[in-house]
Structure 1
Amino acid sequence: MKSLKIFNFTLLLLFLFSNTVFSQEAENPVTEKALQNEILKMDSLFFNVAFNKCDLTLYKKIMSPDIEFYDDRSGLNTSFDVEIASFKDRCSRPFAVTRQLVSATVHVLGDYGAVEIGVHEFYEDGKKVQRGKFIIIWERKDGSWIIKRTVSYDHEPV
């Protein structure tokens, strides 16, 4: 009888332990490093290519149609069309406005996507004019990453 209790207790421990191991594996199928590499690659694609080089097609592809963009300078924008109009306006200026990433950290958001938190700088014709902080919620959708929500704040002239 005592050996049966020990056996049952051992089975219970094995069951609980294995469940913990497998659930962690299922919750985080991608390593933090791999996720960070993916998101930083998408950040580069969105800003270094689409934003900085005024590639409207790519810009539209990476941004969610139901974008929410919170900005300390302009407030809240929930219109994809307004965001595209702002992009076109910026790209039609007689001087180039570009963005450079200074630093960023990336964290998994369950099975939804990732959050990128960082600092970026803005330039006009190569001259640094502003530094700010940002938070981007990236959604994993149909095998691709799209920007779902953005908070851009604490902008200061340089």
Structure 2
Amino acid sequence: MTHCPTAFAALLVAAGMLAPLSASAGEEAVEAATLTRTITALDDQVFDAYNRCDLETFARYFSPTVEFYHDSGGASFDRDTVVSNTRKYICHKVRRERVPGTLKVYPIKNFGAIEEGEHRFCEVATGHCEGSAKFVMVWQHKDGQWQMTRVLSYGHRALTEAEKAALQTTETR
């Protein structure tokens, strides 16, 4: 019977050691949820500006030294080029939609966040979505401001007829 108090004491010590981990895990979950909401809102804002061709607002979301890698369009190494390419190839031609349920956000300690997901592109003239791609964006939080420092847009492909039909079905609901 002398083992019971020892075992009980060991259990109390173990529980005491785990308590800070549980609180820490809970705080991390709250921080992760807050970060995800923040990055989701930023994504909504930057692509609202993109879709409306509000290039002044759009530009504010990019670091002056942003690196933008596009599998079919090539690489750009500054904000001015990204904005110029958007003006030339996107404005009033293409609308971007994030694919629901694909957005993931990961914190970068003492820097910001990584955002990844899938998006599709719709022709403004017809309203039909024709293509999709994957994306990764690295966001830096500095001096109270969030800006993208790296962007990867890759895996561009045409939507299948089944994907197009599914989109038209959901649009008519």
TM-score of the two chains, using structure 1 as the length reference: 0.77
TM-score of the two chains, using structure 2 as the length reference: 0.71
Given candidates 93, 97, 100, the residue that maps to 2:97 is 100
Counterpart-to-counterpart distance in 1, 2:107 and 2:59: 24
More strand by share: 1
> Once the two structures are aligned, what percentage of the paired residues are identical?
31
- CA drift of 1:30 comes to 6.3
Give the paired residue count: 139
Distance change (3 Å), C-alpha of 1:29 and 1:121:
closer
Question: What residue in structure 2 maps to residue 75 of structure 1?
Answer: 74
Counterpart-to-counterpart distance in 2, 1:98 and 1:91: 8
More helix by share: 2
Distance change (3 Å), C-alpha of 1:122 and 1:138:
same
Runs of at least 4 residues off by over 3 Å? none
Amino acid at match of 1:69: F
C-alpha RMSD of the superposition:
2.5
Question: What residue in structure 2 maps to residue 156 of structure 1?
Answer: 157
SS at match of 1:52: helix
Which structure 1 segments of 5+ residues have no match?
A: 1-12
SS at match of 1:85: helix
Counterpart-to-counterpart distance in 2, 1:127 and 1:97: 10
- CA drift of 1:140 comes to 0.3
Task: String of CA shifts for 1:36-74, please: whole Å, max 9, x gaps.
Answer: 000000000001x21101111111111110010011102
Task: String of CA shifts for 1:55-95, please: whole Å, max 9, x gaps.
Answer: 11111111110010011102221132221211221355xx5
